[in-house]
Amino acid sequence: MNTQPFSTTQSKSVLSNIVRWFDSEGAITGDDTAQSSQRQINWLRCMPFVIVHLACVGVIWTGWSVTAVVFCLAFFWIRMFAVTAFYHRLFSHRSFKTNRVWQFVFAVIGNSACQRGPLWWASHHRKHHKHSDQEPDLHSPVKHGFWYSHIGWFMSEAGFKTDYSVIKDLARFPELRFLNRFDILVPAIFAVLIYCLGEMIAFYWPQSGTNGWQLLVWGFFVSTTILFHATFTINSLGHVWGSRRFKTKDQSRNNPWLAMLTLGEGWHNNHHRFAVSARQGFYWWEVDISYYVLKILSYLGVVSDLNPVPLRILEEGRAKTTSANPAGDQEEK
């Protein structure tokens, strides 16, 4: 039996996946167009994601220090803000405005979170809203289960692709297209810089107890892994755990615990009711840290035109909240 055609195809597939570790739009094969194949996890293609998790085990050898843990948490929150406020609220929903320089700065910070490029992120999120909790929604826990909605979807061939047809407004910026195509470049640069920072701290401030390898493991790999799964909970838990203030076409939920973890993204039912608002905690008692930071940045001139929640929607939600919670009738400030 002649196995050469299979061997050749297999070799091309392996090479294609390796190339796409560095160039997300390079060497894409066109022989896996079947729906079932598109939904299968491509383990070779997602090896960088696996490696980030495995590298966390390095804490066994590097140990820990207060400096490393503080850096880990600080880098987590800074990048969480870039993802929630810019990848999500700006790039996906255009809920506020900023100039091209700041758009690029926060796109770079968001890219350092290893959640791929801003155009990839926005394209999939816009399609999520269009088909929320329907079969085409790749990360619906209602349709595809917890684990697939949490991590499986973006490890599939369908999940790797950027649909430029739904992000034409963003695709006109060549710098964003560059970040999107070479989405491993920024994380790699940040990793090197963090290692160098650790070595510099060890040299000039040895009493800190940290060094290059320790800061790299905690500040980049551990921080990034926590950030992965904190963000992913909005997909996997945000549609099954929490309350529903608004009757939306999907099963989106409001969850204050997820909101605290993700700087406000946990008010997911609110968000699906009016996705283009710059704030997702619609009422004063719904903590939305990303919105508070955006508000501060608006005073500084970094962002502008924060899109508000329409009064009719606030009244719609308040009517239901008041019936269930007497404290809900307090006016939003």
Q: State residue 333's pLDDT score.
A: 32
pLDDT tens digits for 252-267? 999 999 999 999 999 9
Residue type, 96: F
Candidate from 34-43, 172-181, 261-270 with smallest mean pLDDT: 34-43
Across the chain, what does the average pLDDT equal? 90
The predicted structure's pLDDT at residue 332 = 36
Over 90: is that where the pLDDT of 156 sits? no
Top pLDDT among 330 and 234 is at: 234
| Residue 9 pLDDT level (bands cut at 50, 70, 90) | low
Three-class DSSP category at 97: strand
The partner residues of 282 in beta bridges, in order of sequence, read none
Residues 46-70: pLDDT tens digits?
A: 899 999 999 999 999 999 999 999 9
Domain range list for the chain = 37-245
Q: Distance between CA 321 and CA 268 in Å, rounded?
A: 16
pLDDT (tens digit per residue) in 283-301: 999 999 999 999 999 999 9
The one-letter code for the residue type at 197 is: L
User: Which tokens belong to 167?
Assistant: 């992000």
Provide the token pair at 241.
Answer: 């755990």
Looking at residue 214, what is its pLDDT? Answer: 98
Q: What are the tokens at 21?
A: 């570790």
Q: With 80 as the cut, is the pLDDT of residue 12 above it?
A: no
pLDDT for 6 equals 47
The pLDDT, as a whole number, for residue 14 is 84
Q: Is the pLDDT of residue 242 over 60?
A: yes
Residue 35: its pLDDT value, please? 54
Nearest Cα to Cα of residue 77 among 227, 182, 219? 227
Q: How many CA atoms lie within 13 A of 294 on its CB side?
A: 30
